Structure formats: structure tokens, C-alpha cells
């Protein structure tokens, strides 16, 4: 894969969007601008809505998810989380620990603007505590998932280096929260979020939900310094382009929403300054996203296999058992799976694609510069997201079933647990 050179787009000090030396001061300065203030005010309003989940028409399809052991590494996760909790100071516990159904699950966002008052800020804690957080991530995720998560953080630090803004953009400018009581059988989870990253992990009885999962990078590779050679999203980009070009012409025509990555010929509101063409980003938990594009059930075997390889690039963040279960579920819904495309199809063209079914929602989007100065999308600023539509992001539907089953099993007192997190 050839890289588009980002260096011509490094801003001068006068062009820089970094407003102050520290994350707190930068946030204060940024939030004094009308656009950023309006974005966060809008998000705050959305966060007050009860959770329903991403749907295609506003109504949740029921009966899609079931409680079933999938071989999640529950024991290793519980042990790692217990070690972490034991090492936290009282103040850190007050910041980091929340009930399993706390509304804070839905408070993640992927900008560099630090507005959240909850969560353990990794740059403010000890190296030993950070290592314990990473230890929990390592046993929760596949090797690939762990490596990609760390690479997002490292490329964030690389961006901070080329912008001379390490106080705002660094390897540890991320927040961590732990929800519920670590257990092999009961429900609990963790969340890590910050610039270009939000990983939400709920585990319950050997099952695991790892969505919403947002990963991004600007630039998507490091070519100098301590992170030299680090790259992200090569497979996501290459396999997506291969699939689109492998489709016969009539299916390409069906998949194609627009040839213009600028979004200028799309309906009003479809392109957004913060999310660009992505519809499943931060605070879009209840977004209505109608199906678009070609139906995977109509694909011939080579195209179906190419689609499965592409989905595996995203689902592969999960450890083996849950990953295999998720791929099997994905294949079961191929007849309802839609693949759509915006942009060009040549090796140098930026593009967007979405894979959407009743149980899977995946987006890949190449953006204009935010910190870099390119005003049109180029291939080195990438956002990706994976969601579980129809009410099971954050494992909400599994939690609902778990508590319903607990009620049925006997006199357990879980009356305060509702379908939403609020």
C-alpha cells in the first residue's frame, strides 16, 4: 500500500488548532468557540435520551441476541481487574469505578477535548497503575485488538510530536472506567476512551460485547521517531477496496451511494463536520440509519468470502471464542447484510464504506484534516467504528436478558435494572 504524504499538511504555529499546552486549558479554549460548544451541547442533550440502539427505522428488532457461553477469557479478566482495583488510591477508585449500568457508559467521545469528569486519566496516574490497566486490556482483547488499541494511542503521541503539542496529544491522554464488580459469571466491564479511541467491553458468563468500538488515526502511520513503522487500518482499507472492485458491475452500481467523497451531493445533514460521513460515532447510540447499497445475500462465493475477510479485520479485536461466535452470527444474517460505498475506487482515491446487518454495523471513513491542513479527505486520516445494532451496544440486551432470567430463577432483587442505562 502506498502512503499519501502527510508532511505538506503539517500546520504552521499560526494554523495550529492546539489552543493551549495542557488538555484542560485546551478544552477550555476550544469550548469557548461556537462550533465546539454547540457540538458538546448537542451531545449532552442526546445523552439524556433513554438508550434504544442503532436501528434502520427507529424500532428495535427483537430476538437477535441470546445468552450463551462463548469462551471469553472471563477468569483472566476478573483477576486482572481485581489487581487493578487493589492498586488504586481512594481518589482513583472514586473516579474509575461505576455500577455496571451507570449512564457514564454512553459518555465516551473521540475528540481531544477533555470534558469528562469521570474516569481515571492515564497521564495523571502512576506507571504501575497504567501497566495494570494495560494488563486488563491485554487479557480482554486478542493480540491484534491489543496491538491496535496501543497503536492508536502511540499514533496519537506521534501526532502530538509533529504538532509540538504533547500536553494535549500523547500516549496516555485517555480515560479509563471500570463498571460493576469483576466476576467470572456476573456482568461487568471496562471502557477506555480519548482522542481517536473508544473501546467498550462488557463481559457476562463467558460472553463478551466489545462495542461501540471506535478507532482512528491522523496520520495513520509514523515515519520518524520512537513510533516509526507503526501503521493502522491497512487491512481495513485494502480489503474494503478489493471487495468493492470484486463485485460485478450491477452490484457495484447498487453499492455506490455517491462517487463524491466530499458528500456535497448527499442529503442535507448526511455529512457532518465532526463525524464527516460516519453515522455511528460518539453519541449516536440511537441513530436511525436506513440500509443502503448491495445485499450480501446476492453475492457469489468469492465476494462473500471477501466480505467475511473484511469483517474479520474488525471483529478480530475480540479474543478467539467471542470472535468465532460473532463471525458465525454475522454469517447467519448475510441475507440481510448491506454493503455501501461513497468515493472513488482507484488505489489513490479516498472512500467511505459501511457494512450493516441486524447484528453488525461497521464503518470506515477517510477524512479531511482536523489537525493537519488538508481540506479534502486524504488517505492518512481514518476513522472506523463497530457497533452492535438493535439494542446490544454495551451489552444492554444481554444485561436485560440476564436480569429477566435472574427474576425467573428466584427472589433476586434487580428491580432497578431497566433496558436503558439511565
Average pLDDT over residues 51-67: 97
Judged against a pLDDT cut of 90, whether residue 330 lies above it is answered with yes
What is d(CA 213, CA 235) in angstroms, rounded to the nearest whole number?
Answer: 17
Judged against a pLDDT cut of 80, whether residue 399 lies above it is answered with yes
pLDDT in tens, 331-363: 999 999 999 999 999 999 999 999 999 999 999
Which of helix, strand or coil describes residue 188?
strand
What is d(CA 110, CA 365) in angstroms, rounded to the nearest whole number?
Answer: 14
Q: What is each CA distance from 264 to 96, 258, 349, in whole angstroms?
A: 42, 9, 16
Judged against a pLDDT cut of 50, whether residue 418 lies above it is answered with no
pLDDT in tens, 303-322: 999 999 999 999 999 999 99
- The answer to which of 81-85, 282-286, 361-365, 418-422 has the lowest mean pLDDT is 418-422
Q: Over the Cα atoms of the chain, what is R_g?
A: 21
Nearest CA among 200, 197, 114 for reference residue 154:
197
Which of helix, strand or coil describes residue 266?
coil
Judged against a pLDDT cut of 60, whether residue 416 lies above it is answered with no
- Residue pair 2/347 in contact (Cβ under 8 Å)? The answer is yes
Return the sign of the alpha-carbon dihedral for residues 312, 314, 319, 325: negative
Calculate the CA dihedral of residues 388, 389, 390, 393 and round it to 10 degrees. Answer: 40
pLDDT in tens, 93-141: 999 999 999 999 999 999 999 999 999 999 999 999 999 999 999 999 9
Q: Helix, strand, coil proportions of the chain in percent (round to 5)?
A: 40, 15, 45
pLDDT in tens, 362-392: 999 999 999 999 999 999 999 999 999 999 9
What is d(CA 358, CA 63) in angstroms, rounded to the nearest whole number?
Answer: 11
What is d(CA 382, CA 360) in angstroms, rounded to the nearest whole number?
Answer: 20
- Residue pair 385/213 in contact (Cβ under 8 Å)? The answer is yes
Q: How much is the pTM?
A: 0.95
Judged against a pLDDT cut of 60, whether residue 410 lies above it is answered with no
Query: Regarding predicted confidence, which is higher, 171 or 413?
Result: 171
Query: What does the domain layout of the chain look like in residue ranges?
Result: 61-216+395-409, 234-390
Residue 172: φ, ψ to 5°: -115, 15
Query: Regarding predicted confidence, which is higher, 196 or 262?
Result: 196
Judged against a pLDDT cut of 60, whether residue 407 lies above it is answered with yes
Enumerate the β-bridge partners of residue 348.
none
Give the helix/strand (H/E) hosting 84. Answer: helix 74-87
Average pLDDT over residues 2-24: 90
What is d(CA 136, CA 370) in angstroms, rounded to the nearest whole number?
Answer: 31
Judged against a pLDDT cut of 90, whether residue 202 lies above it is answered with yes
Nearest CA among 361, 51, 402 for reference residue 211:
361
Longest Cα–Cα distance in the chain = 66
The residues, ordered by sequence, that sit 6+ positions from 108 with a Cβ below 8 Å of its Cβ are 191, 193, 198, 200, 212, 214, 282
Enumerate the β-bridge partners of residue 121.
175
Average pLDDT over residues 138-164: 98
**Residue 420, pLDDT score:** 41
Amino acid at each position: 500500500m502506498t502512503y499519501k504524504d502527510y508532511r505538506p499538511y503539517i500546520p504552521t504555529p499560526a494554523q495550529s488548532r492546539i489552543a493551549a499546552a495542557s488538555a484542560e486549558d485546551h478544552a477550555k479554549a476550544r469550548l469557548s468557540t461556537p462550533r465546539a460548544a454547540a457540538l458538546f451541547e448537542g451531545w449532552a442533550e442526546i445523552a439524556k435520551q433513554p438508550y434504544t440502539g442503532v436501528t434502520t427505522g427507529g424500532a428495535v428488532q427483537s430476538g437477535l441476541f441470546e445468552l450463551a457461553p462463548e469462551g471469553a477469557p472471563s477468569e483472566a479478566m476478573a483477576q486482572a481487574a481485581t489487581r487493578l482495583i487493589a492498586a488504586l488510591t481512594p481518589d482513583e477508585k472514586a473516579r474509575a469505578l461505576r455500577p455496571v449500568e451507570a449512564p457514564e457508559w454512553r459518555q465516551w467521545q473521540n475528540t481531544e477535548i477533555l470534558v469528562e469528569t469521570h474516569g481515571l486519566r492515564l497521564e495523571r496516574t502512576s506507571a504501575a497503575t497504567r501497566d495494570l490497566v494495560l494488563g486488563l486490556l491485554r487479557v480482554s482483547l486478542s493480540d491484534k485488538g491489543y496491538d491496535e488499541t496501543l497503536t492508536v494511542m502511540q499514533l496519537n503521541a506521534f501526532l502530538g510530536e509533529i504538532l509540538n503539542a504533547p500536553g494535549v496529544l500523547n500516549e496516555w491522554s485517555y480515560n479509563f472506567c471500570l463498571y460493576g464488580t469483576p466476576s467470572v459469571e456476573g456482568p461487568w466491564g471496562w471502557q477506555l476512551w480519548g482522542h481517536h479511541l473508544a473501546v467498550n467491553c462488557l463481559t457476562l458468563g463467558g460472553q463478551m460485547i466489545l462495542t461501540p468500538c471506535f478507532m482512528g488515526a491522523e496520520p495513520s502511520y509514523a515515519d520518524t521517531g520512537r513510533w516509526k513503522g507503526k501503521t493502522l487500518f491497512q487491512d481495513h482499507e485494502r480489503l474494503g477496496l478489493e471487495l468493492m472492485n470484486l463485485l460485478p458491475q450491477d452490484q457495484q452500481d447498487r453499492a455506490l451511494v455517491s462517487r463524491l467523497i466530499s458528500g456535497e451531493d448527499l442529503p442535507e445533514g448526511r455529512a457532518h463536520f465532526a463525524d464527516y460521513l460516519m453515522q455511528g460515532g460518539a453519541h449516536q447510540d440511537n441513530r436511525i440509519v436506513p440500509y443502503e447499497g448491495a445485499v450480501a445475500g446476492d453475492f457469489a462465493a468469492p465476494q462473500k468470502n471477501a466480505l467475511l475477510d473484511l469483517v474479520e479485520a474488525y471483529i478480530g479485536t475480540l479474543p478467539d471464542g467471542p470472535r468465532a461466535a460473532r463471525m458465525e452470527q454475522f454469517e447467519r444474517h448475510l441475507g440481510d447484510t448491506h454493503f455501501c460505498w461513497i468515493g472513488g475506487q482507484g488505489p489513490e482515491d479516498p472512500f467511505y464504506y459501511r457494512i450493516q446487518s441486524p447484528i453488525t454495523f461497521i464503518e470506515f471513513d477517510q477524512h479531511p484534516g482536523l489537525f493537519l491542513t488538508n481540506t479534502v479527505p486524504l488517505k492518512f486520516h481514518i476513522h472506523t467504528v463497530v457497533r452492535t445494532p438493535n439494542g446490544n451496544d454495551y451489552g444492554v440486551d444481554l444485561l436485560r436478558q440476564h436480569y429477566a432470567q435472574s427474576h425467573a430463577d428466584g427472589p433476586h432483587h434487580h428491580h432497578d435494572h431497566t433496558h436503558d442505562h439511565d
